[in-house]
Structure 1
Amino acid sequence: MIFSRKRADEARHARDERTTEVLDTEETGDPTPPARGPYDVSEAPDEPRLDLGSLQIPAVPEVEVRVQADPQGVIQQVVLVHGESALQLGVFAAPRSEGIWDEVREEIRQSLFNDGAAAQEVEGEYGTELRARVRTPDGLTDLRFVGVDGPRWMVRGVYQGGAATDPAAAGPLALCLSGLVVDRGQEAKPVREPLPLRLPREVAEQQAAEQQAAGQPPAPGQREA
């Protein structure tokens, strides 16, 4: 299972609802495209990807994309799985002026500490990461938290399994992260508000048709895209 910090997320969201980003309309020059992602949609290379709204996930062989969505097709969780490793993805609104991963990372570390789990900061491919071992209903689980600040967004990834303790084992999951595309949109949003994710239209329509044919009302659950 994928570890969830639901209580901490709710508390942070309640605090941050008071802080809404103001869009900056000042003209800026064209930045140099980054050598790797996660990319902003304005600078992403043209490659096949699974479009989930605010996140577009590259097609990487042997990586399974699992999503949990409500009956309306709004995605609540995205998890990529390869072998015994998994990568849970989240994308959040951020201000234009500065990144928020440093602050978010410290709050995650403090939340883990309050729950009796020590977290260690280490330097990784995208800067400072957090590694921790937590107790879950399935036993002790290693986690590795990665954050990437982009233009008015932040991607948070949580590795589990072998990729949590050995970055070299991330393999195809790391390729997914480096090929990820964020479509932030232009709307002003509260800082740290999760950006909207949705099932591709064809997947949602197919699922609705199957449920209607079976005479069953739509129900939330685990789906594969």
Structure 2
Amino acid sequence: MAFGRRRKNKAGSTESAEESVQSAAGTENGAAGGTDGGPEHGPFDVADRPSEEGYVDLGALRIAATQGLALRLEVEETTKRVVAVTLDLDGSSLQLQAFAAPRSETLWDEIRTQIVKSVSSQGGTADELVGRLGTELLARVPAQAQDGSKGYRVARFVGVDGPRWFLRGVFGGPAAMNPDAATALEEVFRNVVVVRGDAPLPPRDLLQLTLPRDASPLPKRDAETKPEPPQRGPEITTIG
């Protein structure tokens, strides 16, 4: 499992070439909204999976160690706060953020409405569907391809309402559209453990992410190696 860090500039956008459509956060039972959920399916609350064995501890999130999985932490430039984690596996990506949520309310329905409005304002479309992780949104936003032609960038949004937390995932790359390509990252998503903590927090506040104790930077690319072309993917956005 590899680790890396990505920073955000003062304007709130990441300094890598990754960009995306808007995102956001909420529910109550620890299973993806609309699935056949329950503690056996995940994502999990820490009360259901208290052991750290086999997991990378990121504070509010614990990620199951998986062969070939690369983990990038996204750092807000002004505050130096870790605001999201992006997981890369087999050419696809999954961005994760966890938020505080009300004890007796869910957020995912409201958040989907906000995403649709944001995507529409950018000239794109967002289709609601029921997938293997419950009610999802498949968003397409106009973008310019590397050869200058017009196209779309695609992001698949999923949301999970847990006990006093909301977990939002954004799939990018082949996993956004191809069910077969999404299988491995969906399994990673289902094994995520959310650690809400006891501190009182306003709804939609980000839960605190931290660097893992054994994290090390990704190796620097050799100066003579031709850099890979930038890939598009999810970007952090503020909710609420």
User: Whole-Å Cα distance in 2 between the matches of residues 60 and 45 of structure 1?
Assistant: 19
Q: Report the Cα offset of residue 126 of structure 1.
A: 2.7
| 1:151 equivalent among 138, 144, 163 | 163
Q: Which residue does 1:63 correspond to in 2?
A: 69
Change (3 A) 1:68 1:124: same
Per-residue CA deviation, residues 184-225 of structure 1 (Å, 9 max, x unaligned), is 00111111111110102443xx77xxxxxxxxxxxxxxxxxx
Q: Report the Cα offset of residue 132 of structure 1.
A: 1.4
- Structure 1 residue matching 2:186: 3-state secondary structure: helix
8 Å CA contact retained: 1:75, 1:198: yes
| 1:115 equivalent among 111, 115, 122 | 122
Q: Which residue does 1:27 correspond to in 2?
A: none
Report the identity percentage.
Answer: 42
User: Whole-Å Cα distance in 1 between the matches of residues 200 and 20 of structure 2?
Assistant: 27
5+ long unaligned stretches in structure 2: 1-16, 26-36, 146-150, 218-240
8 Å CA contact retained: 2:74, 2:82: yes
Within the alignment, does 1:3 sit opposite 2:19 as a pair? yes
Per-residue CA deviation, residues 59-106 of structure 1 (Å, 9 max, x unaligned), is 111111111236887313311111221111111110110211111111
Q: Look up the equivalent residue of 2:43 and give its one-letter code.
A: P
Q: Report the Cα offset of residue 167 of structure 1.
A: 2.7
User: Whole-Å Cα distance in 1 between the matches of residues 112 and 131 of structure 2?
Assistant: 14
Rg larger in structure: 1
Q: Which residue does 2:82 correspond to in 1?
A: 75
Q: CA RMSD in A?
A: 2.5
What TM-score comes out, normalization by structure 1 length?
0.73
Q: Which residue does 2:42 correspond to in 1?
A: 37
- Structure 1 residue matching 2:86: 3-state secondary structure: strand
Q: Which residue does 2:33 correspond to in 1?
A: none
- Structure 2 residue matching 1:109: 3-state secondary structure: helix
| 1:53 equivalent among 59, 65, 78 | 59
User: Whole-Å Cα distance in 2 between the matches of residues 85 and 2 of structure 1?
Assistant: 13
- Count of residues in Structure 1 that have an aligned counterpart in Structure 2: 183
User: Whole-Å Cα distance in 2 between the matches of residues 152 and 2 of structure 1?
Assistant: 30
Per-residue CA deviation, residues 15-60 of structure 1 (Å, 9 max, x unaligned), is xxxxxxxxxxxxxxxxx96112110001116441110000000011
- Structure 1 residue matching 2:119: 3-state secondary structure: helix
Q: Which residue does 1:191 correspond to in 2?
A: 203
User: Whole-Å Cα distance in 1 between the matches of residues 81 and 139 of structure 2?
Assistant: 30
- Structure 1 residue matching 2:104: 3-state secondary structure: coil
Q: Which residue does 2:109 correspond to in 1?
A: 102
Within the alignment, does 1:129 sit opposite 2:136 as a pair? yes
Deviation larger for 152-161 or 43-52: 43-52
Higher helix share: 1
Q: Look up the equivalent residue of 2:42 and give its one-letter code.
A: G
Per-residue CA deviation, residues 149-195 of structure 1 (Å, 9 max, x unaligned), is 10011110000111101233112211110100000001111111111
- Structure 2 residue matching 1:129: 3-state secondary structure: strand
8 Å CA contact retained: 1:60, 1:175: no
User: Whole-Å Cα distance in 1 between the matches of residues 93 and 129 of structure 2?
Assistant: 20
Deviation larger for 42-51 or 102-111: 42-51
8 Å CA contact retained: 1:73, 1:198: no
What TM-score comes out, normalization by structure 2 length?
0.69
